[in-house]
Amino acid sequence: MLNNVKKYYVMMLLLALALFGSGCVRDFDEASSLFITDTELSADKVTTSFVNLNVTTYILHEGGAQKNDTLLQLKVFDSNTGFLKLREVSDVGPIKEGETSPVSQSIRLPKEGRYRLEFFLSEGNKTKSTAEIYLSGLESLKTDVQEIGIGIDGMDFLVKKVVGNNVVIENDIYLTNSGSNVSENYKMLVKAREMDARLIANKVWTTTGTIGPEETVIRSVNLTVPDNYNYVVEVIIWKDNTIVKRGEDYVQLNPQKVIDKNKTVESKDVVTSDFIVEEPTTWGEPSYEVPYEETGTPGFGSGLAIISIIAALIMFRRKSA
Protein backbone atom coordinates (compact mmCIF):
# COMPACT_ATOMS: atom_id res chain seq x y z
CA MET A 1 0.00 0.00 0.00
CA LEU A 2 2.79 2.36 0.95
CA ASN A 3 4.68 1.54 -2.19
CA ASN A 4 1.60 2.33 -4.29
CA VAL A 5 1.29 5.77 -2.64
CA LYS A 6 4.95 6.53 -3.28
CA LYS A 7 4.56 5.50 -6.91
CA TYR A 8 1.52 7.76 -7.23
CA TYR A 9 3.36 10.85 -5.90
CA VAL A 10 6.38 10.11 -8.05
CA MET A 11 4.14 9.92 -11.12
CA MET A 12 2.40 13.18 -10.20
CA LEU A 13 5.79 14.85 -9.71
CA LEU A 14 7.04 13.61 -13.06
CA LEU A 15 3.84 14.79 -14.72
CA ALA A 16 4.17 18.26 -13.16
CA LEU A 17 7.76 18.50 -14.25
CA ALA A 18 6.79 17.44 -17.77
CA LEU A 19 4.03 20.02 -17.92
CA PHE A 20 6.32 22.76 -16.57
CA GLY A 21 9.09 21.79 -18.94
CA SER A 22 6.76 21.69 -21.94
CA GLY A 23 5.46 25.14 -20.97
CA CYS A 24 9.01 26.53 -20.88
CA VAL A 25 9.76 25.00 -24.26
CA ARG A 26 6.52 26.43 -25.63
CA ASP A 27 7.29 29.89 -24.25
CA PHE A 28 10.81 29.75 -25.68
CA ASP A 29 9.53 28.61 -29.05
CA GLU A 30 6.99 31.44 -29.14
CA ALA A 31 9.54 34.18 -28.37
CA SER A 32 10.08 36.29 -31.49
CA SER A 33 13.34 36.40 -33.40
CA LEU A 34 13.96 39.91 -34.80
CA PHE A 35 17.14 41.00 -36.57
CA ILE A 36 18.53 44.15 -38.18
CA THR A 37 19.60 43.01 -41.63
CA ASP A 38 20.63 46.25 -43.36
CA THR A 39 20.68 50.07 -43.15
CA GLU A 40 20.51 52.74 -45.87
CA LEU A 41 21.21 56.48 -45.74
CA SER A 42 20.08 59.09 -48.25
CA ALA A 43 20.27 62.90 -48.29
CA ASP A 44 16.83 64.52 -48.38
CA LYS A 45 18.06 68.13 -48.17
CA VAL A 46 21.53 69.68 -48.35
CA THR A 47 22.03 73.25 -47.13
CA THR A 48 25.22 75.25 -46.83
CA SER A 49 25.87 73.93 -43.32
CA PHE A 50 23.53 71.00 -42.63
CA VAL A 51 22.31 67.77 -44.20
CA ASN A 52 18.87 66.24 -43.63
CA LEU A 53 19.32 62.47 -43.81
CA ASN A 54 16.77 59.71 -44.21
CA VAL A 55 17.93 56.57 -42.38
CA THR A 56 16.16 53.35 -43.34
CA THR A 57 16.67 50.23 -41.21
CA TYR A 58 15.51 46.81 -42.47
CA ILE A 59 14.19 44.42 -39.81
CA LEU A 60 13.60 40.69 -40.34
CA HIS A 61 10.99 38.81 -38.32
CA GLU A 62 12.42 35.32 -38.53
CA GLY A 63 9.85 33.59 -36.33
CA GLY A 64 7.91 33.51 -33.08
CA ALA A 65 5.24 35.81 -31.64
CA GLN A 66 6.15 39.49 -31.89
CA LYS A 67 5.15 41.76 -29.01
CA ASN A 68 3.48 45.14 -29.45
CA ASP A 69 6.25 47.19 -27.85
CA THR A 70 8.93 46.63 -30.48
CA LEU A 71 11.09 49.77 -30.79
CA LEU A 72 14.05 50.90 -32.89
CA GLN A 73 16.40 53.39 -31.22
CA LEU A 74 18.97 55.35 -33.24
CA LYS A 75 21.81 57.15 -31.44
CA VAL A 76 24.23 59.50 -33.20
CA PHE A 77 27.61 60.18 -31.55
CA ASP A 78 30.35 62.61 -32.49
CA SER A 79 33.27 60.35 -33.38
CA ASN A 80 35.84 62.92 -32.23
CA THR A 81 34.37 63.72 -28.80
CA GLY A 82 32.15 60.69 -28.18
CA PHE A 83 29.30 63.02 -27.21
CA LEU A 84 25.73 62.03 -28.01
CA LYS A 85 24.39 64.49 -30.62
CA LEU A 86 20.86 63.18 -31.05
CA ARG A 87 18.59 60.21 -30.45
CA GLU A 88 15.52 59.00 -32.34
CA VAL A 89 13.09 56.29 -31.19
CA SER A 90 10.54 54.78 -33.58
CA ASP A 91 7.79 52.21 -33.18
CA VAL A 92 8.54 49.26 -35.45
CA GLY A 93 4.96 48.05 -35.79
CA PRO A 94 3.88 44.51 -36.60
CA ILE A 95 5.97 42.46 -39.03
CA LYS A 96 4.66 39.23 -40.51
CA GLU A 97 6.68 36.12 -39.72
CA GLY A 98 9.33 35.49 -42.35
CA GLU A 99 9.12 39.02 -43.79
CA THR A 100 11.41 42.08 -43.68
CA SER A 101 10.04 45.56 -42.94
CA PRO A 102 11.76 48.95 -43.40
CA VAL A 103 11.69 51.60 -40.64
CA SER A 104 12.56 55.18 -41.72
CA GLN A 105 13.94 57.88 -39.43
CA SER A 106 14.98 61.48 -40.21
CA ILE A 107 18.01 63.21 -38.69
CA ARG A 108 19.75 66.56 -39.29
CA LEU A 109 23.53 66.77 -38.96
CA PRO A 110 26.17 69.47 -39.56
CA LYS A 111 28.09 68.85 -42.79
CA GLU A 112 31.43 69.13 -41.02
CA GLY A 113 32.20 66.21 -38.70
CA ARG A 114 32.49 62.45 -38.34
CA TYR A 115 29.70 60.44 -36.72
CA ARG A 116 28.96 57.00 -35.32
CA LEU A 117 25.39 55.72 -35.70
CA GLU A 118 24.22 52.98 -33.33
CA PHE A 119 20.97 51.05 -33.79
CA PHE A 120 19.17 49.16 -31.00
CA LEU A 121 16.19 46.92 -31.77
CA SER A 122 14.30 46.04 -28.59
CA GLU A 123 11.16 44.16 -27.65
CA GLY A 124 9.92 45.02 -24.20
CA ASN A 125 13.04 45.40 -22.07
CA LYS A 126 15.07 42.95 -24.15
CA THR A 127 17.52 43.99 -26.87
CA LYS A 128 16.99 41.80 -29.92
CA SER A 129 19.58 43.13 -32.35
CA THR A 130 22.15 45.92 -32.74
CA ALA A 131 24.06 47.53 -35.60
CA GLU A 132 26.67 50.26 -36.03
CA ILE A 133 27.88 52.36 -38.95
CA TYR A 134 30.32 55.27 -39.34
CA LEU A 135 29.56 58.41 -41.32
CA SER A 136 31.88 61.12 -42.68
CA GLY A 137 32.46 63.27 -45.78
CA LEU A 138 29.15 65.11 -45.64
CA GLU A 139 30.92 68.38 -46.51
CA SER A 140 31.50 67.02 -50.02
CA LEU A 141 27.74 66.97 -50.73
CA LYS A 142 26.66 69.72 -53.12
CA THR A 143 24.29 72.28 -51.63
CA ASP A 144 20.78 72.32 -53.13
CA VAL A 145 20.30 75.21 -55.55
CA GLN A 146 17.39 76.67 -53.58
CA GLU A 147 19.15 76.44 -50.20
CA ILE A 148 21.36 79.38 -49.25
CA GLY A 149 20.87 79.35 -45.48
CA ILE A 150 19.36 82.86 -45.42
CA GLY A 151 15.75 83.49 -44.37
CA ILE A 152 13.59 86.61 -44.65
CA ASP A 153 12.16 87.02 -41.14
CA GLY A 154 10.13 90.20 -41.62
CA MET A 155 9.96 93.80 -42.81
CA ASP A 156 9.34 97.21 -41.26
CA PHE A 157 8.31 100.39 -43.07
CA LEU A 158 9.07 104.03 -42.22
CA VAL A 159 7.84 107.15 -44.03
CA LYS A 160 10.99 109.15 -44.82
CA LYS A 161 9.58 111.95 -46.97
CA VAL A 162 6.41 113.15 -48.73
CA VAL A 163 7.04 115.05 -51.98
CA GLY A 164 3.84 116.14 -53.70
CA ASN A 165 1.91 112.97 -54.50
CA ASN A 166 4.92 110.72 -53.81
CA VAL A 167 5.99 109.02 -50.61
CA VAL A 168 9.51 107.86 -49.78
CA ILE A 169 9.27 104.69 -47.67
CA GLU A 170 12.26 103.15 -45.95
CA ASN A 171 11.96 99.37 -46.05
CA ASP A 172 13.92 97.53 -43.32
CA ILE A 173 14.41 93.86 -44.25
CA TYR A 174 15.37 91.36 -41.50
CA LEU A 175 17.67 88.61 -42.80
CA THR A 176 18.81 85.62 -40.70
CA ASN A 177 21.63 83.22 -41.51
CA SER A 178 20.58 79.87 -40.04
CA GLY A 179 23.80 78.16 -41.13
CA SER A 180 27.04 77.59 -39.23
CA ASN A 181 29.21 79.47 -41.77
CA VAL A 182 29.37 83.06 -42.98
CA SER A 183 26.91 83.49 -45.86
CA GLU A 184 27.74 84.61 -49.36
CA ASN A 185 26.82 88.06 -50.63
CA TYR A 186 23.70 87.63 -52.77
CA LYS A 187 21.87 90.04 -55.06
CA MET A 188 18.51 91.23 -53.71
CA LEU A 189 15.68 92.92 -55.61
CA VAL A 190 13.09 94.92 -53.65
CA LYS A 191 10.00 96.17 -55.47
CA ALA A 192 6.67 97.78 -54.62
CA ARG A 193 3.68 96.42 -56.57
CA GLU A 194 0.27 98.13 -56.48
CA MET A 195 -2.25 95.60 -55.17
CA ASP A 196 -5.14 96.07 -57.60
CA ALA A 197 -3.54 96.85 -60.96
CA ARG A 198 -0.38 94.84 -60.12
CA LEU A 199 1.77 97.63 -61.57
CA ILE A 200 5.31 98.07 -60.34
CA ALA A 201 5.62 101.47 -58.66
CA ASN A 202 9.33 101.27 -57.88
CA LYS A 203 12.16 98.75 -57.56
CA VAL A 204 15.67 98.82 -56.11
CA TRP A 205 18.61 96.42 -56.49
CA THR A 206 20.85 95.86 -53.46
CA THR A 207 22.74 92.98 -51.82
CA THR A 208 22.31 90.86 -48.71
CA GLY A 209 25.91 91.39 -47.67
CA THR A 210 27.76 88.66 -45.79
CA ILE A 211 25.99 87.49 -42.62
CA GLY A 212 27.64 85.65 -39.74
CA PRO A 213 26.39 82.23 -38.61
CA GLU A 214 23.10 82.36 -36.69
CA GLU A 215 23.02 86.15 -36.96
CA THR A 216 20.19 88.50 -37.96
CA VAL A 217 20.91 91.75 -39.80
CA ILE A 218 18.80 94.58 -41.20
CA ARG A 219 19.20 95.71 -44.79
CA SER A 220 17.42 98.96 -45.70
CA VAL A 221 16.28 100.40 -49.03
CA ASN A 222 14.20 103.43 -49.94
CA LEU A 223 11.16 103.03 -52.20
CA THR A 224 9.48 106.08 -53.74
CA VAL A 225 5.84 105.36 -54.59
CA PRO A 226 2.66 107.33 -55.42
CA ASP A 227 0.57 108.13 -52.37
CA ASN A 228 -2.94 106.79 -51.64
CA TYR A 229 -2.37 103.30 -53.06
CA ASN A 230 -1.90 99.92 -51.42
CA TYR A 231 1.28 97.96 -52.15
CA VAL A 232 2.80 94.52 -51.89
CA VAL A 233 6.52 94.91 -51.17
CA GLU A 234 8.37 91.92 -52.63
CA VAL A 235 11.90 90.85 -51.74
CA ILE A 236 13.65 88.46 -54.14
CA ILE A 237 17.12 87.03 -53.46
CA TRP A 238 19.19 85.79 -56.42
CA LYS A 239 22.09 83.36 -56.60
CA ASP A 240 23.73 84.04 -59.96
CA ASN A 241 20.76 83.85 -62.35
CA THR A 242 18.47 81.79 -60.11
CA ILE A 243 15.86 82.99 -57.62
CA VAL A 244 16.55 81.20 -54.33
CA LYS A 245 14.37 83.05 -51.80
CA ARG A 246 11.19 85.16 -51.81
CA GLY A 247 9.34 87.18 -49.22
CA GLU A 248 6.64 89.85 -49.14
CA ASP A 249 4.81 92.26 -46.88
CA TYR A 250 2.18 94.98 -47.30
CA VAL A 251 2.00 98.77 -47.14
CA GLN A 252 -1.52 100.23 -47.24
CA LEU A 253 -1.54 103.95 -47.96
CA ASN A 254 -5.26 103.73 -48.81
CA PRO A 255 -6.61 101.15 -46.32
CA GLN A 256 -10.25 100.09 -46.31
CA LYS A 257 -12.65 98.74 -43.72
CA VAL A 258 -16.02 96.91 -43.68
CA ILE A 259 -18.68 99.13 -42.05
CA ASP A 260 -21.78 96.90 -42.04
CA LYS A 261 -23.04 93.34 -42.45
CA ASN A 262 -23.64 93.87 -46.18
CA LYS A 263 -19.89 94.16 -46.67
CA THR A 264 -19.98 97.84 -47.56
CA VAL A 265 -16.38 98.97 -48.02
CA GLU A 266 -15.26 102.44 -47.02
CA SER A 267 -11.85 103.97 -47.69
CA LYS A 268 -9.97 105.27 -44.66
CA ASP A 269 -8.12 108.55 -45.08
CA VAL A 270 -4.52 108.31 -43.95
CA VAL A 271 -2.43 111.47 -43.72
CA THR A 272 0.93 110.03 -44.74
CA SER A 273 2.91 113.05 -43.56
CA ASP A 274 1.85 112.25 -40.00
CA PHE A 275 4.09 109.17 -40.11
CA ILE A 276 7.36 110.83 -41.15
CA VAL A 277 10.23 109.83 -38.90
CA GLU A 278 12.93 112.48 -39.05
CA GLU A 279 15.42 110.73 -36.76
CA PRO A 280 14.71 106.98 -36.66
CA THR A 281 16.01 105.17 -33.62
CA THR A 282 19.06 103.02 -34.37
CA TRP A 283 20.93 100.43 -32.32
CA GLY A 284 24.10 98.45 -32.76
CA GLU A 285 26.17 98.74 -35.89
CA PRO A 286 24.57 100.61 -38.81
CA SER A 287 23.14 98.27 -41.43
CA TYR A 288 23.77 98.41 -45.13
CA GLU A 289 21.49 100.92 -46.81
CA VAL A 290 21.03 102.05 -50.40
CA PRO A 291 21.02 105.88 -50.31
CA TYR A 292 17.94 107.61 -51.61
CA GLU A 293 18.41 109.61 -54.77
CA GLU A 294 15.93 112.11 -56.09
CA THR A 295 14.57 110.82 -59.39
CA GLY A 296 11.55 111.42 -61.55
CA THR A 297 8.12 110.36 -60.41
CA PRO A 298 8.30 106.55 -60.13
CA GLY A 299 6.01 103.87 -61.48
CA PHE A 300 2.61 104.80 -62.73
CA GLY A 301 2.60 108.26 -61.08
CA SER A 302 4.28 109.83 -64.15
CA GLY A 303 1.52 108.49 -66.40
CA LEU A 304 -1.09 110.20 -64.24
CA ALA A 305 0.84 113.48 -64.44
CA ILE A 306 0.96 113.35 -68.25
CA ILE A 307 -2.80 112.69 -68.42
CA SER A 308 -3.38 115.71 -66.14
CA ILE A 309 -1.29 117.99 -68.43
CA ILE A 310 -3.18 116.84 -71.56
CA ALA A 311 -6.51 117.42 -69.82
CA ALA A 312 -5.39 120.96 -68.83
CA LEU A 313 -4.42 121.78 -72.44
CA ILE A 314 -7.82 120.60 -73.71
CA MET A 315 -9.62 122.78 -71.16
CA PHE A 316 -7.44 125.80 -72.15
CA ARG A 317 -8.34 125.39 -75.83
CA ARG A 318 -12.04 125.16 -75.02
CA LYS A 319 -11.88 128.41 -73.03
CA SER A 320 -9.97 130.12 -75.84
CA ALA A 321 -12.66 129.06 -78.31
Identify the band that residue 26 occupies on the pLDDT scale cut at 50, 70 and 90: very low
Looking at the DSSP assignment, which residues form a beta bridge with residue 235? Answer: 190, 247
pLDDT averaged over the chain? 79
296 is a domain residue: no
Poorest-confidence range of 45-49, 58-62, 261-265?
261-265
Are 131 and 201 within one domain?
Answer: no
According to DSSP H, which parts of the chain are helical? 2-30, 301-320
Q: Which of 25-34, 122-131, 298-307 has the weakest average pLDDT?
A: 298-307
In a domain, 124, yes or no: yes
What per-residue confidence (pLDDT) applies to 316? 44
C-alpha–C-alpha distance, residues 65 and 255, integer Å: 68
Predicted confidence at residue 319, as pLDDT, reads 44
CATH number at residue 206: 2.60.40.10
Q: What percent of the chain has pLDDT over 90?
A: 46
Mean pLDDT across the stretch 107-136? Answer: 93
Task: Choose the most confident range, by mean pLDDT, from 24-33, 63-72, 131-140.
Answer: 131-140
13 part of a folded domain:
yes
Number of domains in the chain: 3
| 9 and 38 fall within a common domain | no
User: Which domain does 99 fall in, by range?
Assistant: 33-140
Same domain, 99 and 56: yes
Instruction: Report phi then psi at 272, rounded to 5.
Output: -60, -35
Taking Cα atoms as reference points, which of 210, 216, 220, 109 lies closest to residue 157? 220
- pLDDT tier for residue 21 given thresholds of 50, 70 and 90: very low
End-to-end CA distance of the chain: 151
Is 115 part of a structural domain of the chain? yes
pLDDT at 17 over 60: no
Does 308 map to a domain? no
User: Rounded CA gap, 56 and 103, in Å?
Assistant: 6
State the pLDDT confidence band at 3, using cuts at 50, 70 and 90: low
